[in-house]
């Protein structure tokens, strides 16, 4: 079952995740108590995974106990919520290339959460962090060949039948192409690599010219 | 670099997983520490601080001069430089405080000093209370202090550029070289950029507009600030900017990968600039007005059609 809580307030839907690091905030989000447990509000304008869920993608793309390879953690906003969702039995392998933002990720997320392992390395070289097979690969990196990088990581670490969450940053791939065309092309790349696209959505108005593709790898499952 | 932890399989073993995590965090922190001690990052911060303080200095000094102008409007006519005016306000206080002695030794001509003293007698300015003066003065002192800090930052950028990137400094000048480095994200990045990119660093908006609409692409970004570019006649600027960008690209690579001075870069630049100035002395003949719009990139319209078809 999903660990994500949904609430309706002022006619809008809010997402909450159970706080794994009690009493601590990562990016000044609101902490609330529900049925005796502490939850953190999950801001869709700052986290593309939250945006995707609000845009109708399933809640259970990341599940309790999952091992997740997270490419492009940045300062750790979304990874902290992924860490909440997978819980103590899960694992988040967080990869970020830029030292400046990785500093915050290490301080505020990796140090505080026992299920997070940080790596400041290039995601083009999975051998540097290939410490475990994973159930989910989450990829949010601003590179023209982001899809190829994601696929290479899936090939190295994703279990057969595992899930891929790909944030398609159309402006990073080609500033001139229509975003929708970029989305179609990247989706086709996944399909020809043996992935089955379960669902996909544009992330507007939360994030401009971005889409999220949810796919499952071939093999079993 | 091989990762010593890469081969361990932590699955199912909570303790070894925590060991791995602990090691990973330490390794990550070491990477961060190393990355944060690069001297070019300090240079990038300094040039940005310099540009910030320029802006803030301008705003503050202008405001102080404007405010003091209510009391002594004639002064601004005679002292054009707002920071110099702020220094005077600091020294003199109210209009009555101006006298010959105070005005001496500030780089003002005898004529100017006389003019100020005459203007003071029949100024059209209004009254200034002590409370007003206190604020204007303190604002002026802020401006004066800022201009001092700006100078120090400038010196720092100069000397840091000489130390970190002597060749870029020689070719582009210290501040422009530092700005290019800031835009690129460090000397390492600048050293890997193609010259064509360096040429238009800082003109991203114009570049993307050109790519989208088929308008003419920019000829120069930050490099426009280079004297050889902005002082040149319009028709030479593109060629000159391109030449400087070429040499900056080479200089950045020498600085980053070899780290020694290379006099031939600057010499080559000067020679090439000379020949551009010689060869393109006269403006090109006027082109007949082009009637057609330059051809658009095909991406957009085609995409739109597809969009409509699908529905």
Structure confidence by residue, pLDDT tens digits, A156-178: 999 999 999 999 999 999 988 99
pLDDT value at residue B296: 52
pLDDT value at residue A1: 52
pLDDT value at residue B295: 54
Are B3 and A128 an interchain contact pair (Cβ–Cβ within 8 Å)?
yes
Are A120 and B299 an interchain contact pair (Cβ–Cβ within 8 Å)?
no
Percent of chain B whose predicted confidence (pLDDT) is above 90: 77
Burial class of residue A32 in the structure, from the number of CB atoms within 10 Å of its CB (0-12 exposed, 13-18 middle, 19+ buried): middle
C-alpha torsion sign, points A8, A11, A13, A16: negative
Give residue limits of the domains in chain A.
44-216
pLDDT value at residue B292: 57
What distance in Å separates the CA atoms of residue A176 and residue B151, rounded to the nearest whole number? 42
Q: pLDDT digits over B137-147, tens only?
A: 999 999 999 99
pTM for the full model?
0.82
> CB pairs below 8 Å between A and B: how many?
75
Please, are residues B9 and A132 in contact by the beta-carbon 8 Å criterion? yes
| Coil, helix or strand at residue A67 | strand
What distance in Å separates the CA atoms of residue A168 and residue A136, rounded to the nearest whole number? 16
Are B28 and A91 an interchain contact pair (Cβ–Cβ within 8 Å)?
no
pLDDT value at residue B166: 96
Strand partners, A195: A217
Are B299 and A129 an interchain contact pair (Cβ–Cβ within 8 Å)?
no
What distance in Å separates the CA atoms of residue B155 and residue B158, rounded to the nearest whole number? 5
Mutation for A interface: B2, B8, B30, B32, most A CBs within 10 A? B32
Q: Is the pLDDT of residue B301 over 60?
A: no
What distance in Å separates the CA atoms of residue B269 and residue B169, rounded to the nearest whole number? 13
**pLDDT (mean) for A125-144:** 96
| Residues contacting B125, CB < 8 A, separation 6+ | B69, B70, B71, B72, B73, B74, B95
Question: A52-56, A117-121, B224-228, B298-302: which has the minimum mean pLDDT?
Answer: B298-302
**pLDDT (mean) for B152-158:** 97
Q: pLDDT digits over B229-242, tens only?
A: 999 999 999 999 99
By the CB < 8 Å criterion, does B18 face chain A?
yes
Query: The domain A44-216 is classified under which CATH number: 3.40.50.150, 3.40.50.10790, 3.30.70.1150, 3.30.420.40?
Result: 3.40.50.150
pLDDT value at residue A219: 58
Q: pLDDT digits over B40-97, tens only?
A: 999 999 999 999 999 999 999 999 999 999 999 999 989 999 999 999 999 999 999 9
**pLDDT (mean) for B3-27:** 73
Domains plus CATH for chain B? 40-156 (1.10.287.4070), 165-279 (1.10.246.90)
Partners of residue A110 in chain B, C-beta under 8 Å: 21, 24-25, 28
**Cα-based torsion angle of the residue sequence A96, A97, A101, A102 in order, rounded to the nearest 10 degrees:** 50
What distance in Å separates the CA atoms of residue B78 and residue B84, rounded to the nearest whole number? 11
pLDDT value at residue A142: 95
| Coil, helix or strand at residue B8 | coil
| Coil, helix or strand at residue A145 | coil
Nearest residue, CB atoms, A106 vs list B11, B28, B299: B28
What distance in Å separates the CA atoms of residue A204 and residue A45, rounded to the nearest whole number? 10
Q: Is the pLDDT of residue B302 over 90?
A: no
By the CB < 8 Å criterion, does B275 face chain A?
no
Partners of residue A106 in chain B, C-beta under 8 Å: 25, 28-29, 32
């Amino acid at each position: 079952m999903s660990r994500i809580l949904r609430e309706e307030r002022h006619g809008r839907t809010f997402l909450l995740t159970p706080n794994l690091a009690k009493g601590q905030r990562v990016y000044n989000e609101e902490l609330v108590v529900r049925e005796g447990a502490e939850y953190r509000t999950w801001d869709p304008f700052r986290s593309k995974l939250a945006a995707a869920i609000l845009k109708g993608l399933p809640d259970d793309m990341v599940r309790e106990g999952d091992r997740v390879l997270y490419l492009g953690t940045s300062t750790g906003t979304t990874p902290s919520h992924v860490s909440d969702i997978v819980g103590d039995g899960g694992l988040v392998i967080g990869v970020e290339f830029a030292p400046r933002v990785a500093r915050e990720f290490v301080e505020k997320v990796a140090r505080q959460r026992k299920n997070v392992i940080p790596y400041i390395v290039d995601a083009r070289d999975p051998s540097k962090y290939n410490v475990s097979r994973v159930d989910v690969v989450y990829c949010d990196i601003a590179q023209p060949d982001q899809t190829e990088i994601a696929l290479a990581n899936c090939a190295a670490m994703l279990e057969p039948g595992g899930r891929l969450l790909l944030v398609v940053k159309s402006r990073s791939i080609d500033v001139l192409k229509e975003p929708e065309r970029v989305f179609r092309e990247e989706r086709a790349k996944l399909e020809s690599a043996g992935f089955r696209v379960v669902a996909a959505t544009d992330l507007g108005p939360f994030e401009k010219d971005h889409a999220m593709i949810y796919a499952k790898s071939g093999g079993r499952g | 670099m091989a990762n010593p932890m890469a081969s361990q399989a932590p699955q199912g073993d909570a303790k070894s997983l925590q060991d791995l995590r602990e090691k990973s965090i330490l390794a990550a922190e070491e990477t961060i520490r190393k990355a944060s001690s690069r001297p070019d990052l300090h240079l990038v911060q300094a040039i940005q601080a310099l540009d910030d303080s320029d802006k803030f200095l301008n705003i503050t000094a202008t405001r102080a001069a404007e405010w003091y102008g209510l009391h002594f409007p004639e002064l601004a006519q005679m002292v054009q430089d707002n920071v110099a005016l702020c220094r005077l306000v600091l020294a003199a206080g109210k209009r009555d405080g101006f006298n010959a002695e105070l005005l001496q030794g500030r780089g003002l001509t005898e004529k100017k000093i006389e003019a100020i003293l005459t203007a003071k007698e029949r100024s059209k300015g209004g009254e200034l209370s002590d409370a007003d003066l206190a604020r204007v003065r303190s604002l002026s002192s802020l401006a004066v202090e800022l201009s001092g800090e700006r100078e120090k930052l400038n010196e720092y950028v100069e000397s840091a550029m000489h130390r970190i990137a002597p060749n870029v400094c020689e070719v582009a000048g210290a501040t422009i070289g530092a700005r290019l480095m800031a835009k690129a994200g460090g000397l390492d990045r600048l050293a890997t950029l193609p010259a064509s990119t360096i040429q238009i660093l800082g003109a991203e908006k114009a570049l993307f507009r050109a790519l989208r609409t088929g308008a003419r692409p920019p000829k120069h970004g930050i490099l426009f600030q280079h004297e050889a570019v902005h002082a040149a006649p319009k028709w030479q600027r593109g060629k000159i900017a391109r030449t400087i960008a070429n040499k900056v690209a080479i200089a950045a690579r020498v600085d980053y990968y070899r780290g020694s001075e290379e006099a031939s870069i600057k010499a080559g630049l000067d020679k090439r600039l000379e020949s551009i100035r010689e060869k393109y002395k006269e403006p090109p003949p006027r082109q007949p007005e082009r009637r057609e719009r330059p051809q658009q990139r095909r991406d957009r319209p085609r995409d739109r059609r597809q969009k409509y078809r699908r529905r």
